[in-house]
Structure 1
Amino acid sequence: MNWDDMRYLLAVAQAGSLKGAARSLGVDKTTVSRRLRAMEAALGRPLVEPRGPGLGLTDFGQVLHRHAEVMRDEMRAVDARIMADHAAPLGTVRLTSVPLIINHVLLPALSDLRAAAPGLRVELIAESRDLSLLRGEADIALRLARPTEGGQGVLARKLGDLDYAAYGARGAAGPMPWIGYEPRMGYLSHAAAIARAAEAEGGFAVAVNDAESLFQMVCAGHGRTLLPRAIADADARLVEVPFPHVALPRREVWLMVRRDLRELDRVRLAMEWVERAFAARMSQAQSTRPPDHRENGDNP
């Protein structure tokens, strides 16, 4: 017996005619009749009989119909389980970067990740220090320098470059002092450039240890600093100001992942999202940047 024929028995029992059963199944009446006859031949008993203007089930047909209903319900349960599995949790992925990147590149794009991977739980770890992928402190890292960690245990791919420029608060009154980094961070190219500018003009008003702090202080009108164009140009509170002291720095952006995790669905989805978010931020900054975004016409 072909168990798929049970669908035809159910359809005839519900519709009460070959024509109605054919309509509900999306086939022609001849197909329904042929499948019913095949079932009867396989079972050696009639399943349907004329009843009024249509068809009804024989006693044996009614017994088989009850079994067919159970089979239908089981198949619906299987379908529901498959759908549930598709929406099942993918697990957790830990992604780390500096607070400036987390807050201004990844968080604005978080809804895209949630739509693409509804079963994924993501932990965004905003840290100024580099968390170790090999020690399991994070699964994925977005770094602003060429990686030195991991050897063969870590895969890294360059996503692009961040160009820096000097910014102050739009409409700020009076002179704006330089806001820079504490001395321990002088190894960073942009920190060194700010330090040289501040030294030439009388020193720092404030020094911090994190770019997000610089960003917030400049937005609040406390001074000037160097920020990535891709982030600062997107904020209407900021305006580019001259920087004649040294060449403006540029930093590389690298995406890193533990080699043994790269094929996991949750990690792959998160990495693809990071790449899209970074590319979108770079594209948006270029498209929204006016021909002259500086406070005056001087070349920085």
Structure 2
Amino acid sequence: MNWDDMRFLLAVAQAGSLKGAARSLGVDKTTVSRRLRALEKALGRQVVEVGGQGLGLTEFGRRLYRHAEVMQGEMQEVDTLTGANSDGGLGTVRLTAVPMVINHILVPAMGDLRAAAPGLRLELIAEARDLSLLRGEADIALRLARPTEGGQGVLARKLGDLDYAAFAARDAARDLPWIGYETRMQYLPQAAALTRAAEIEGVAQVSVNDAETLFRLVCSGHGKTLLPRIIGGAEPRLVELPFRHGALPRRELWLMLRRELRDLKRVRLVADWVEGVLSARMSQAQPACSPDHGEDGDNP
């Protein structure tokens, strides 16, 4: 086989179409199609297929893709070592987390990463669903629960716990209703706690399926809710409230990465940056309650 054909496999997997792959590689669609056919002929196996989401990889293609990414990363390391990569590029790292974590924790700290790794290209994938590391949907993931994916193919480490607290807009009325999650989201510990509180104090005429939307509703004064303290406590438009309806929820925070990528410089840089950002933010998040809401606002 021609090992250079692996570049075309990577491009198609990441773009999801021949046109997108051709654009990223600077060639035409015919060239991409021809090189993929040549790769399949050499391997004796189909690597791409057309599905409901467009052009994607077969099961064999996904397994091959993981090795192709490692090969690409190693070549980038060689280019950096020999000076062949004149622009100092480190390559691309795809990091996924729920939108709230990306928008309110990682994005504000991007300056530190750009200063430490000016040649790095970071793809931030804000997804509520858990993208698969083993299928190559992301390189690094932040999870708000103990991981169940991967086995020996994924490295996972707990970074700490996210404590939740009650928040409302600083200048909002005191008798706000609770804004919670739709019925399908009741498996979340914060959703269950909100339902418990709403049964006693009243629920708003709106519910959500995403914490980012919840955050925006509360900042706009439409109600009160539970948010991670490292996010709600850092938002000047919000004030922490007492919560009198049982223990406040807490969620584990895990960092995951694909085992075969752990020694790549760009992956190490991003993983270390994420860990540093989360460690700093969690250490700053202390229980607090505005004096306007009484002294009983400390969390249990």
Q: 1:108-119 maps to which residues of 2 (within 5 A)?
A: 108-119=108-119
Q: 1:248-263 maps to which residues of 2 (within 5 A)?
A: 248-263=248-263
**Deviation of the 1:281 alpha carbon:** 1.3
Q: Which secondary structure state, in structure 2, belongs to the residue aligned with residue 205 of structure 1? A: strand
**Deviation of the 1:263 alpha carbon:** 0.8
Match of 2:173 in 1: 173
Q: TM-score, normalised by structure 1?
A: 0.68
Distance in 2 (alpha carbons) for counterparts of 1:297 and 1:120: 47
2:154 counterpart of 1:154: yes
CA contact (8 A) 2:239 2:289 kept: no
Match of 1:145 in 2: 145
Q: Deviations over 1:228-272 (max 9, x none)?
A: 111111111111112111210111100000111111111111100
Distance in 2 (alpha carbons) for counterparts of 1:243 and 1:205: 21
Amino acid at match of 1:125: I
Q: TM-score, normalised by structure 2?
A: 0.68
Amino acid at match of 2:276: R
Distance 1:152 1:107, change over 3 A: same
Q: 1:13-52 maps to which residues of 2 (within 5 A)?
A: none
Match of 2:294 in 1: 296
Q: Deviations over 1:181-216 (max 9, x none)?
A: 111110111111001111222334211011111111
How many equivalent residue pairs? Answer: 218
Match of 2:95 in 1: 95
Unaligned 5+ runs, structure 1: 1-80
Match of 1:50 in 2: none
Q: What do you get for the CA RMSD once the two structures are aligned? A: 2.0
Unaligned 5+ runs, structure 2: 1-80
CA contact (8 A) 2:242 2:289 kept: no
Distance in 2 (alpha carbons) for counterparts of 1:233 and 1:171: 15
Distance in 1 (alpha carbons) for counterparts of 2:292 and 2:173: 16
Q: Deviations over 1:5-42 (max 9, x none)?
A: xxxxxxxxxxxxxxxxxxxxxxxxxxxxxxxxxxxxxx
Match of 2:201 in 1: 201
**Deviation of the 1:133 alpha carbon:** 0.5
Aligned identity (percent) is: 68
Q: Which secondary structure state, in structure 2, belongs to the residue aligned with residue 216 of structure 1? A: helix
Which region of structure 1 is more displaced relative to structure 2, 201-210 or 180-189?
201-210
CA contact (8 A) 1:240 1:294 kept: no
Q: 1:266-277 maps to which residues of 2 (within 5 A)?
A: 266-277=266-277
Q: Deviations over 1:107-150 (max 9, x none)?
A: 01101111111111000001111111111110000111110111
Distance in 2 (alpha carbons) for counterparts of 1:103 and 1:170: 21
**Deviation of the 1:284 alpha carbon:** 3.1
CA contact (8 A) 2:240 2:288 kept: no
